[in-house]
Amino acid sequence: MIANNLIRMDKGKKISECNECIQALHLLIDGEASSNQKEFLEKHIEECMPCYQSYNLDKNVKEIVKSKIEKKPVPSALIANIKDKLNESF
């Protein structure tokens, strides 16, 4: 379905193609796109500046969430407490 869009790049189809792209961009960002979807999305963002900007922003948001949010260290007593509880209960 998406692959069909590869052959219709005329202006009239542009908006629906952009809508399709915006809805599916997450698949590309999350590595979940099928090869057809990947081909369609990569080609589209190469040719369409607004969609490329959306892609780039979303990709950056994902990276920033992953890289900037600090991991909480596990409280040192937690593992010992779990083991105690397991011994008590079972």
Interface with another protein by CB under 8 A: which residues?
Answer: 22-23, 26-27, 30, 32, 50, 53-54, 56-58, 60-62, 64-66, 68-72, 74-75, 78-79, 81-82, 85-86, 89-90
Residue placing its CB nearer to another protein in the complex, 35 or 89: 89
State how far the Cα of 47 lies from the Cα of 42, in Å rounded to an integer.
Answer: 9
Closest approach of another protein to the CB of residue 37, in Å: 12
Residue that has been written with the tokens 């949010």 in this structure: 69
Closest approach of another protein to the CB of residue 11, in Å: 20
75-84 burial, b at 16+ Cβ within 10 Å, e below that, comes to eeeeeeeeee
